[in-house]
Chain A
Amino acid sequence: MIPLTGIISLVVFTLFSGVLCFENNVPVYMWNIDTDAVVNPLHSLNAEELVGKVSLSLEGKLVALFMQDELSVDDFKSNDLAALKSLAEMDNDGTFYAPSVTKTTKLPEVLAAAGYNVVYVKSHQDLPTSAVVGKTVLVIDLPATQLGDLRKENLQLNSNAITEIYETLKSQQPDVVGIFTAKRNSQLQLDESRRRIARSATAKSAPREETFVDKFYNITQESGKLFLFFEKAPILKIKDENKTAWANFTLNVDPVFTGTVVNETHKTGVLVLTYEALAPSGPKNDSGFLTKAKISFHLSTKRGYWYINQTTIDFDVKINDATFKEDNLVLVTTDVSTPLGRSWHCTPKSRLASYGYYFNGTIIKYTNKVILETDGFQLQPFKVSKDKFGDGYDCVGFFTEGIWAAIILGLIIAMMLAWAISMLADVRTPDRYDDPKGKTITITATE
């Protein structure tokens, strides 16, 4: 009963205060204003109430209302508004501070209702060049601020802007009241969570890695269809046999597809990618130029699976002032065998094809002079449905061999544990001499 009422009242209270929290409370700071008005910091003022408090003091003065997008009480504590602070401490009539005012966006309207002429200042040209007569409010929108580390700089810039504009106005007429406030509280997020805004702010400054190219190729021909997708651009690595450095060519341009790519009736296909005129990327000491590279994947089908049988490459490159040309060089492809109707998918960086090593008697020699490396690759020839890749057959399975080994050995250990627990069931205390009805055995201790 009591916990129930407690819970209900707690819920009601949080909802109620939550409703209150949904009101944007923004601090308002005024300078060069001669007023005795005091504000109870525990209460939030309405825009009308605020104007009502200070309207007498605003009589006969030009009001410069500086509206920032977001402001909070913490911003006044930090030293970022130092320029504003020194401005306010200069020779002036007095200051006024209300820490929590709701509906500040309505301030211009409220002032207009109080008989002020509202002028929206969009840029420096809109500022009055001579003294203004009559009750006027200049509403000046300050540049947007951001959350996080950049906020300090924004606040400093804004306070410098305020100082500059205010002094311009003050040089024209002595009675200018400055009001500094904002449309929203920077610490209270209504629509989105603060975390999400902070994340999107950092995301804007650090965009999705430029290496992601997300290139999707849909090659539809009369004889068949092929889908190809590169998450990051594939890299063609070529090495001069005598040197140890590789020249890496990032194939981040769109290749040209030639020939019949897929022939469904004959169940074969050749995917030919031709790249032209690429400069290398990589360490600074790479100097080279890829005039042309033509990569051909020979595809075939057998007994319900499709394979990449062979990869051949023609290339014409210039590395470090030496020209290399290869025609129809056969590369060793990774074992791509996928059921028909499904796509081959590989996320981690892996070698799709490379020029193999050879074993010469007792000497093992590496002549890897060409490596085609993919980083995020998906291919589906044969039996492509209308617009989507078939299920991805991954190059890394769900259970890798390491996982299987660990499962087997873990099971062995688990069986040991099971045996041990079953042995615990055989623990018996000696109960031969127990007699519930008999006398309790007592042993007299002799001194």
Chain B
Amino acid sequence: MAARYRETYIYSFGGLLAAAVVVFGIYYILTGQGERIDIGWFLETITPYMWATTGIAFAVSLSVIGAALGIYTTGSSIIGGGVKAPRIKTKNLISVIFCEAVAIYGLIIAIVLAGMLDKYDPLKASPEKVALNYFSGFAMFGSGLTVGLVNLFCGISVGIVGSGAALADAANPSLFVKILIVEIFGSAVGLFGLIVGILMSSRIKMGDI
């Protein structure tokens, strides 16, 4: 019953989307304006602020989703294992801290990018200025998306490893330190995303001046 519930919702949502796309696509084709569906025109005319703000949103929201999923996984294992082996409680909090760090990376990038947002007047700006602003918009989008997605998967993986570490520690205390190394590698991945995001955002120059 539960499986059918989920599938019904997803299929109906997808079906609605597909129907909308088909209807509008056929409208465009049959009225002879097929070439009006123009991705190039869209990319050229859309305001760069859409890209920039979406990037900032992705940076923080996807990172937090990753961190939350990680803490959910590892936290429930620590609490469950701590019933019979209370000694694991304090030591295994480090897994939760690794997950939290992922969220902090996302927050840092989002604040840095948001600080670079600035307005410009498209009518008065020279073509070079306009191009620079568009580049900044795309760069912010790329940077935010990079950091967000990397932190999402990093958080999930650290969470699962941390959960395994807690349960292994509850069974045999000597295993914990070795498993921590696996977790450190998982966390390093999140750092890579942060570095690339910072690199991309270093060239951003939005605004009139």
Chain A residues near B (Cβ < 8 Å): 339, 342, 359, 364, 391, 393, 397-398, 401, 404-405, 409, 411-412, 414, 418, 421-422, 425-426, 428
**Min CB distance, B151 to chain A, in Å?**
17
Name the distance in Å between B13's Cβ and chain A's nearest Cβ.
5
Instruction: Return A345 CB to nearest CB of chain B, in Å.
Output: 12
Complex A-B: 27 CB contacts under 8 Å: A339-B32, A359-B126, A359-B127, A364-B124, A364-B125, A364-B126, A393-B33, A397-B33, A398-B36, A401-B41, A401-B46, A401-B47, A405-B47, A405-B50, A409-B54, A411-B17, A412-B54, A414-B13, A418-B9, A418-B10, A421-B6, A421-B9, A422-B9, A422-B10, A425-B3, A425-B9, A426-B2
The answer to whether B10 touches A342, judged by C-beta atoms less than 8 angstroms apart, is: no
B90 at the interface (CB under 8 A from A): no
Interface membership of chain B positions 16-60, coded 1 if the CB is closer than 8 angstroms to chain A and 0 otherwise: 010000000000100111001000011001110010001000000
- Cα separation A236 to B85 with both chains bound (whole Å): 87
Interfacial residues, chain B to chain A (CB-CB below 8 A): 2-3, 5-6, 9-10, 13, 17, 28, 31-33, 36, 41-42, 45-47, 50, 54, 124-127
Residues of B within 8 A of A411 (CB): 17
A263–chain B nearest beta-carbon distance, Å: 25
A411, B13: Cα distance in complex, Å: 11
The distance in angstroms between the C-alpha atoms of A396 and B124, with both chains bound, is 23
Could you say which residues of chain B place their CB within 8 Å of the CB of A398? Answer: 28, 33, 36
A411 to B54, CA, bound (A): 13
A303 to chain B, nearest CB (A): 12
Shortest C-beta distance, A168 to chain B (Å), equals 71
Say yes or no: A409 contacts B9, CB within 8 Å: no
Q: A418-B13, A422-B9 are in contact. Are A404 and B32 (CB under 8 A)?
A: no
Complex Cα gap A414–B12 (Å): 13
Are A409 and B6 interface neighbours, CB within 8 A? Answer: no
Across-interface contacts of B10 in A (CB, < 8 A)? 418, 422
In the complex, chain A residues whose CB is within 8 Å of the CB of B47: 401, 405
Nearest chain A CB to B142 CB, angstrom units: 16
Residues of B within 8 A of A339 (CB): 32
Q: Which 3 interchain pairs have the tightest Cβ spacing?
A: A425-B6, A401-B45, A405-B50
- The reply to whether B124 and A401 form a contact with Cβ atoms under 8 Å apart is no
Is A342's CB under 8 angstroms from B32's CB?
yes
Among residues of A, the one whose C-beta sits closest to the C-beta of B50 is A405
Query: Given A364-B126, A409-B54, are A401 and B13 also a contact pair (CB < 8 Å)?
Result: no
The one of A342, A391, A397, A425 that contacts B2, using a Cβ cutoff of 8 Å: A425
In the bound complex, CA of A256 to CA of B48 (Å): 45
Which residues of the partner chain A approach B6 to less than 8 Å between Cβ atoms? Answer: 421-422, 425-426
> How many angstroms from the CA of A411 to the CA of B10 in the assembled complex?
14
Distance of A198 from chain B, by nearest CB (Å): 38
Distance, CA A206 to CA B108, complexed state (A) = 62
Q: List the A residue with the shortest CB-CB distance to B3.
A: A425
Determine the chain A residues whose CB is within 8 A of the CB of B127 once the complex forms.
359
- What distance in Å separates the Cβ of B3 from its nearest Cβ neighbour in chain A? 8
